[in-house]
Structure 1
């Protein structure tokens, strides 16, 4: 009978490799992302954001060379993500875990980070509870609550009193519904209806008709990134909700290139909240977009995943510079406190109490300018923390 637990075996493996790695002049970053499967485009954005940071800043920090090791989780696969995290820590001896498109995968890997005391930098997964999973986890993207709460406040401030909420029936959609509805009603608004649509829905006509029949001031929508957004927006137009003066309120992702290209003019006039769009103004973003284009050979524009992954590399490098290249979990997390940086999205900081990002959330309107769709920033909420903490 084997009397050793998996956790004990992990610790033994770490100790076995620790002595050799301690003298290494390489900083290894293990990135778990979706390089194949339904979320391959998100993984490609994440990888391109990381590679763009390296293009602009080089592969050295504190006298050591940065090596990035990519692992493909193939989609929402927490078991695979946990296995990959174990391999990266015990076999590849990575100093930092990073990446994570999906929250379930990040949650699974966080257990490995916690047990091995390996710093873990989340570059997308947006569930508020994630950073509470381990004191070795930090996040550079956003939380759903962080985006939905300012949107509800802006909607009420600009005249909406009756809102119908429509979300995809999965954890991020439910988070968006919860925080928008909670915030809006606390201000005095009324939620006249809430619908959770099956995640695989492709025909949104019946759901949109329910909204039109209720005649709200606005509709709040949360859907998975990409084609679902485009299909829903077209249904919104076809059912005449725009002509009925029912404002469209969305979350992050509506300013991404794939949505703008596929949606075309059906997107003009919709509003969304989020931390990044490639069309946003400013020299920092212009430099990032230019470098990103060179990284990918002009195949695509950066999405919010690319921006947060770029910022994730900046955080790792700046923190390691503070530690003199020492990547031990305790030293890294201590050096992380007080982190602040300029970014393509604006100024970002890390909350020392929660290890979550503090940033500006922009309210944006999709406009057509000089024949090009752009996400125009019309309002902003500065220094927004995750309200769930």
Structure 2
């Protein structure tokens, strides 16, 4: 899929000024590579294309007098396909930057290609903290959340209320394993204990055997280190098995607003997770959400909001650098503060981690909700300088000040 904002803009690119001569093939081309039809399509998918288009609209469809073009591809959450697509986009399709990234394993594969090709990659879909850990790159940027930050909020609150024994249902790929590892460190450090766990394949339709194992463990807390429709399916089935309530509390670490919609407030009420974007957070969030909603028919997910925010910052950096050269643009992105409709003076660390505020959310009860998509309430805010892994604890060689 390709989106070009007007034929007049293509002509403008062909007749570019000297500044635009620094733009490769006279087009700034953005590739959205994610899951377009699977488990994460609702959180990313075509909504990420729309988010990138809205970012391009903010620039009038051009930067450095050259048109902005949006292309897209579906990696099906498969790392080998993702890596091949990234090579094709960078090498033969003239793509200057890839955005979204989708699932963690696929994104890590594309991150390697980005490093090899010295091209920028903007990751708002993947959660694994490895992106800014041992796999860090001067060309990659981790925009919205990661497993280190997501693991912080739920264990602290649950342990304080007596939830000291945990059982994990963990997605069997990079995100789930990283999520479980980070959460376990916090649980054990706070005096809790992990009494068992199982690994679930991606896009599991039936969680019954996993839920029965969790129930049989006697754990007070069922922790879901899953995402997308896996999370909403697991919660709905936990209700069917009467696992939620009584002596068992369910904890989620990564929950998209789309997941809440899929499971319904009756099933999701009270669930605690965290986010860096909510469409009803403030005036800027609501203004962006309205633009997106008008095109998509619903508010943006955290992933789609991240695509918008990261692409806006990338385009600002292209304009400031006077070129779409990956090395120069990446350096400029690190140098500039991040400001957009819902991001305010955030900074990017040398490992590519955007240090933005993290919000702890709780799903509203049906009685608390005032209308469609009014699903969350913000119960705490963790400042950007506190939410993310400290530089001195990172395995990233780019953080030389450790």
TM-score (norm 1): 0.82
Q: What residue is the counterpart of 1:340 in the other structure?
A: 337
Q: Do the aligned residues in 2 keep the contact of 1:98 with 1:123 (CA within 8 Å)?
A: yes
Q: What residue is the counterpart of 2:16 in the other structure?
A: none
- Give the direction of change, closer, same or farther, for the CA distance of 1:150–1:346 in structure 2 (3 Å limit): farther
Q: What residue is the counterpart of 1:318 in the other structure?
A: 316
Q: What residue is the counterpart of 1:46 in the other structure?
A: 48
Q: Could you say what secondary structure the match of 1:337 adopts?
A: helix
Partners of 1:330 and 1:195 in 2: CA distance: 42
| Segments ≥4 residues shifted beyond 6 Å | none
Report deviation, 1:148: 1.3
1:365 and 2:367 correspond = no
CA-to-aligned-CA distance 1:75-119 (integer Å, 9 cap, x gap): 123333333333333333333233311333333333332233222
Q: Do the aligned residues in 1 keep the contact of 2:228 with 2:259 (CA within 8 Å)?
A: no
Q: Could you say what secondary structure the match of 2:375 adopts?
A: strand
Q: C-alpha root-mean-square deviation of aligned residues, in Å?
A: 2.8
- Give the direction of change, closer, same or farther, for the CA distance of 1:275–1:317 in structure 2 (3 Å limit): same
Q: Do the aligned residues in 1 keep the contact of 2:233 with 2:263 (CA within 8 Å)?
A: no
Partners of 2:269 and 2:41 in 1: CA distance: 27
Q: Do the aligned residues in 2 keep the contact of 1:285 with 1:343 (CA within 8 Å)?
A: no
Partners of 1:150 and 1:343 in 2: CA distance: 26
Q: What residue is the counterpart of 1:291 in the other structure?
A: 291
- Give the direction of change, closer, same or farther, for the CA distance of 1:73–1:147 in structure 2 (3 Å limit): same
Q: Could you say what secondary structure the match of 1:334 adopts?
A: helix
Q: What residue is the counterpart of 2:102 in the other structure?
A: 101
Report deviation, 1:208: 2.8
Q: What residue is the counterpart of 1:87 in the other structure?
A: 88
- Give the direction of change, closer, same or farther, for the CA distance of 1:346–1:112 in structure 2 (3 Å limit): closer
Which of residues 117, 135, 142 in structure 1 aligns to 2:138?
135
Q: What residue is the counterpart of 1:244 in the other structure?
A: 246
Report deviation, 1:348: 6.7
Q: Could you say what secondary structure the match of 2:312 adopts?
A: helix
Partners of 1:175 and 1:320 in 2: CA distance: 33
Report deviation, 1:181: 0.9
Q: What residue is the counterpart of 1:10 in the other structure?
A: none
Q: Could you say what secondary structure the match of 1:110 adopts?
A: helix
Q: What residue is the counterpart of 1:116 in the other structure?
A: 117
Report deviation, 1:350: 4.2
Count how many residue pairs are aligned between Structure 1 and Structure 2.
364
Q: Do the aligned residues in 1 keep the contact of 2:32 with 2:48 (CA within 8 Å)?
A: no
* Runs of 5+ consecutive residues of structure 2 not aligned to the other structure: 1-19, 395-402
Q: Do the aligned residues in 2 keep the contact of 1:307 with 1:345 (CA within 8 Å)?
A: no
Is 340-349 or 180-189 further displaced after alignment?
340-349
Q: Could you say what secondary structure the match of 1:326 adopts?
A: coil
CA-to-aligned-CA distance 1:18-42 (integer Å, 9 cap, x gap): x987575432223323334555443
Q: Could you say what secondary structure the match of 2:152 adopts?
A: helix
Q: Do the aligned residues in 2 keep the contact of 1:33 with 1:100 (CA within 8 Å)?
A: yes
Report deviation, 1:366: 0.8
- Give the direction of change, closer, same or farther, for the CA distance of 1:351–1:385 in structure 2 (3 Å limit): farther
Q: Do the aligned residues in 2 keep the contact of 1:138 with 1:355 (CA within 8 Å)?
A: yes
Q: What residue is the counterpart of 1:67 in the other structure?
A: 68
TM-score (norm 2): 0.80
Report deviation, 1:136: 1.6
Is 46-55 or 128-137 further displaced after alignment?
128-137
Is 353-362 or 24-33 further displaced after alignment?
24-33
- Give the direction of change, closer, same or farther, for the CA distance of 1:156–1:38 in structure 2 (3 Å limit): closer
Q: Could you say what secondary structure the match of 1:305 adopts?
A: helix
CA-to-aligned-CA distance 1:295-316 (integer Å, 9 cap, x gap): 22x2x32111111101111220
Partners of 2:277 and 2:130 in 1: CA distance: 22
Partners of 2:91 and 2:371 in 1: CA distance: 52
Partners of 2:80 and 2:275 in 1: CA distance: 30
> Superposed, which structure 2 residues align to 1:202-281 within 5 Å?
202-226=205-229, 228-254=230-256, 256-278=257-279, 280-281=280-281
Partners of 1:44 and 1:225 in 2: CA distance: 15
